[in-house]
């Protein structure tokens, strides 16, 4: 299971993951928007537009929306500012007192199914951590996970199913790789979810 016993703890860790991604995005300058990213076939502009859409989509779902149109990626004229706004929107939506009483509709994951809020927050937490790394790598920067966030993100990463669906077009994560001993928590998360900590040196 992705969820943890204390709902407020989960929300706090999720907010830290989102702020980690905001910190990475804030370092993006307009001249780098065409840069390659660890996400195959996506440059940085496209990645940021995807991240903006995901934030608003999860926020809308947390507020009870079932509109699949909210998950359609749209062009962003100022993706850095738009990303900051989407992050604020999402953190506010997940902060609602009754959010854990809701089932969130996430059509990109499983259309028509309501995910328990704790599970949905876990999904977005791990996405935020990995995409923070994606953004940072694309501009030659790095991210640092605090101990508690790293521990929770690794736990969630290890719970993500690693089957044939990871090789399907549009899959969120590539098939996982072997994780050597004595690696950092972040590197373990990346390998489990099909990223290479040495990107772009490891890119084809």
Token pair listed for 46: 């496209």
- Residue 7: pLDDT band (50, 70, 90) is confident
- Residue 142: pLDDT band (50, 70, 90) is very high
Rounded CA-CA distance 181/1 in Å is 24
pLDDT of residue 1: 44
Mean pLDDT of 127-137: 98
Residue with tokens 């702020």: 19
Which domains are assigned to the chain? Answer: 7-162 (1.20.120.450)
Rounded CA-CA distance 26/6 in Å is 30
Collapsed DSSP state (helix, strand, coil) of residue 43: strand
CB–CB of 121/11 below 8 Å?
A: yes
Cα 111–chain centre separation:
19
Rounded CA-CA distance 154/174 in Å is 16
Mean pLDDT of 166-185: 71
pLDDT at 25 over 60: yes
Range in 5-14, 79-88, 144-153, 173-182 with the lowest mean pLDDT:
173-182
pLDDT at 78 over 60: yes
CB contact burial 167-202 (16+ within 10 A = b; e otherwise): eeeeebbbebeeeeeeeeebbbbbbbbbbbbebeee
Collapsed DSSP state (helix, strand, coil) of residue 204: coil
Rounded CA-CA distance 122/100 in Å is 12
CB–CB of 119/102 below 8 Å?
A: no
Per-residue pLDDT tens over the stretch 150-168: 999 999 999 887 766 665 6
pTM: 0.91
With pLDDT > 90 as the criterion, what percentage of the chain qualifies? 77
Collapsed DSSP state (helix, strand, coil) of residue 114: strand
Instruction: Residue 109: name the closest of 93, 118, 120 by CA.
Output: 120
Residue with tokens 């690794």: 154
Top pLDDT among 176 and 77 is at 77
In sequence order, what are the beta bridge partners of 36?
43
pLDDT at 4 over 50: no
């Amino acid at each position: 299971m992705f969820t943890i016993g204390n709902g407020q703890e989960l929300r706090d860790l999720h907010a830290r993951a989102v702020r980690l991604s905001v910190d990475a995005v804030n370092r993006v300058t307009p001249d780098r928007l065409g840069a390659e990213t660890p996400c195959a076939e996506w440059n940085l502009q496209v990645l940021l537009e995807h991240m903006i859409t995901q934030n608003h989509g999860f926020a809308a779902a947390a507020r009870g929306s079932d509109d699949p149109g909210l998950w359609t990626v749209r062009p962003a004229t100022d993706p850095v500012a738009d990303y900051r706004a989407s992050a604020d929107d999402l953190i506010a939506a997940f902060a609602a007192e009754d959010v854990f009483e809701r089932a969130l509709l996430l059509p990109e994951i499983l259309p028509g199914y309501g995910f328990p809020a704790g599970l949905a927050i876990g999904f977005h937490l791990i996405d935020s951590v990995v995409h923070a790394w994606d953004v940072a790598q694309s501009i030659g920067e790095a991210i640092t996970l605090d101990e508690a966030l790293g521990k929770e993100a690794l736990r969630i990463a290890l719970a993500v199913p690693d089957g044939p669906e990871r090789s399907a077009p549009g899959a969120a994560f590539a098939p996982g790789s072997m994780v050597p001993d004595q690696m950092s928590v972040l590197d373990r998360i990346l390998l489990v979810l099909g990223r290479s900590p040495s990107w772009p040196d490891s890119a084809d």
